[in-house]
């Protein structure tokens, strides 16, 4: 079995794990940080918005069971790709949206996907398509947060949904 990796920044990484974690072919998901200028950043550093890092997830997947385009479908259903300042009630540069490609095929797929959905929005899509940079795993207490603290995770999801509904009206 061949395993590929994909990297997505979609706001708070807590909210990006569960949507991917329920499919055959997804072999692992790690919350972390990438895209910035600080080596081995901590959550305390990243949350200041001064490191340049995005909160992101690393997804290990079997492309024979789960193609990259399907990952893009799931990703774009979790975000507002027109919001340049964060996601829903999570505001700040660390909550920007991006796809970090690891090869030209992922880059092309991401760019084509964005082009194909742009007409669904009345504002430009600002989700960035960027080359892979070092991914730094977040601290252990951030991993699989939705399973460790389902009550807080549910509240976080509810707030995201309320905000998304309010801003789409």
DSSP collapsed to 3 states, 36-82: CCCCCCCHHHHCCCCCCCEEEEEEEECCCCCCHHHHHHHHHHHCCCC
Determine the pLDDT at residue 107: 98
Q: In the structure encoding, which two tokens stand for residue 144, read together?
A: 């699989």
pLDDT per position as a tens digit, 107-143: 999 999 999 999 999 999 999 999 999 999 987 776 7
Pairwise CA distance, residues 53 & 39, whole Å = 10
| Domains of the chain from N-terminus onward | 4-168 (3.30.1060.10)
Determine the pLDDT at residue 141: 73
Positions marked active-site: 12
Q: Is the pTM of this model over 0.75?
A: yes
Instruction: Tell the residue number behind the tokens 């460790």, with chain if given.
Output: 148
Question: Is residue 168 pLDDT above 60, yes or no?
Answer: no
What is the arithmetic mean of pLDDT over 60-76? 95
Pairwise CA distance, residues 21 & 37, whole Å = 29
């Amino acid at each position: 079995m061949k395993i590929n990796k994909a990297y997505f920044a979609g706001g708070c990484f807590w909210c990006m794990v569960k949507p991917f974690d329920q499919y055959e072919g997804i072999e692992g998901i790690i919350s972390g940080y990438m895209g910035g200028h600080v080596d081995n950043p901590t959550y305390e550093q990243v949350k200041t918005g001064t490191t340049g890092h995005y909160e992101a997830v690393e997804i290990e997947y079997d492309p024979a069971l789960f193609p990259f385009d399907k990952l893009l479908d799931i990703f774009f259903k979790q975000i507002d790709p027109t919001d340049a300042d964060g996601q829903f009630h999570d505001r700040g540069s660390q909550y920007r949206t991006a796809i970090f490609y690891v090869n030209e095929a992922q880059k092309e797929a991401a760019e084509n996907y964005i082009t194909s959905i742009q007409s669904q929005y009345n504002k430009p899509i600002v989700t960035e398509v960027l080359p892979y940079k070092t991914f730094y795993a977040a601290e252990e207490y951030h991993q699989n947060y939705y399973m460790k603290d389902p009550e807080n995770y549910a509240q976080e999801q509810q707030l995201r949904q309320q905000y998304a509904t309010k801003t789409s009206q």
